[in-house]
Amino acid sequence: MVAVEFRAVTKRFRRRGVAVNYGTLKGLLAGAPRRSAPEPIEALRNISFQTTEGDTLALIGPNGAGKSTLLKLAAGIYRPDEGVVRTSGRIGSLIELGLGFHPDFTGRENVVVSGLLHDLTRRQLADRFSEIVAFAELGSYIDEPVRTYSTGMCMRLGFSVAIHADPQILLIDEVFSVGDGIFIEKCVEWMDGFQKSGGTIVVASHDLDLVRQRCHQALWLDNGQVRARGDARDVADAYGEWIARSHAAAP
């Protein structure tokens, strides 16, 4: 069964451009440029793919390629300007570290807030709270304000809340880049079990070894377009070669 499908999806954003000409003589003398009308930017252009239950899809590509935008479309945070996005199953997301966390609330309080955002009931949160804290390995820090947490601690708490919300589709954006090796391995082991139980994962990552070892398919994005897609090892190898050639050609 198809878990995530994008069909001819385009997403645009608007930015304000600045014209080089001036509207009045006074403006010219004051050095104030006249602003042009907002200009659309295509963050993603005509993206099509699908994943099935139990698959892990890697999103790879340089910064600004559109990976985070794609994940936010899948999560329902953004809506496409063109095309169709379809998902089948409960979604858990780790798209931005600390998303939904209030910096002045304790970790304990933020578990409640974040859990509610993941559609858990207060009863479910009470029943799972000990498991969430144990998986995050925060100990007594759970009662400290989140503003005192490192990025790795935020990642631990966010990941733990997301996986205890019984997702069928898990969306992950680069969060493993801030965790320690032991905890990351723990997360990867959980992901293995999640895959075997039929869970679907879409993960944006610059870690090509992780892509090769843990992902089934890969989508290489470049400037908002699909440059390659297919077997994770093949696409990761092609992207790695492209990076090497780019570095070699750089002055």
Express each pLDDT in 44-54 by its tens digit: 999 999 999 99
Mean of pLDDT values over 189-194 = 92
What is the percent of the chain where pLDDT is above 90? 68
Select from 172, 179, 132 the least CA-distant residue to 152.
179
Q: Is 70 exceeded by the pLDDT of residue 82?
A: yes
Q: State the pLDDT confidence band at 181, using cuts at 50, 70 and 90.
A: confident
d(CA 248, CA 142): 47
Strand order of the sheet with strand 169-173?
A: 91-94, 169-173, 200-204, 56-60, 217-222, 225-231
Asked whether residue 27 carries a pLDDT value surpassing 60, the answer given is: no
pLDDT at 33: 58
For residue 53, which of 165, 216, 212 has the smallest C-alpha distance? 216
Concatenated DSSP letters of 172-218: EESGGGGS-HHHHHHHHHHHHHHHHTT-EEEEE-S-HHHHHHH-SEE
DSSP of 77-114, one letter per residue? SS--SEEEEEE-S-EEEE-STTTT--TTSBHHHHHHHH
The domain total for the chain is: 1
**Whole domain around residue 162: which residue ranges?**
2-249
Confidence of residue 25 (pLDDT cuts 50, 70, 90): low
pLDDT band per the 50, 70, 90 thresholds, residue 151: confident
CATH code of 203's domain: 3.40.50.300
Global pTM reads 0.85
Whole-number Å distance between alpha carbons of 169 and 150: 27
Judged on CB neighbours under 10 Å (0-12, 13-18, 19+), 83 is: middle
Q: Which residues contact 158 (CB under 8 A, 6 or more apart)?
A: 94, 97, 98, 99, 101, 114, 175
Residue 160 pLDDT: 93
Choice between 179 and 107, residue whose per-residue pLDDT is larger: 107
- Interacting residues of 76 by C-beta distance below 8 A, sequence separation 6+: 87, 91
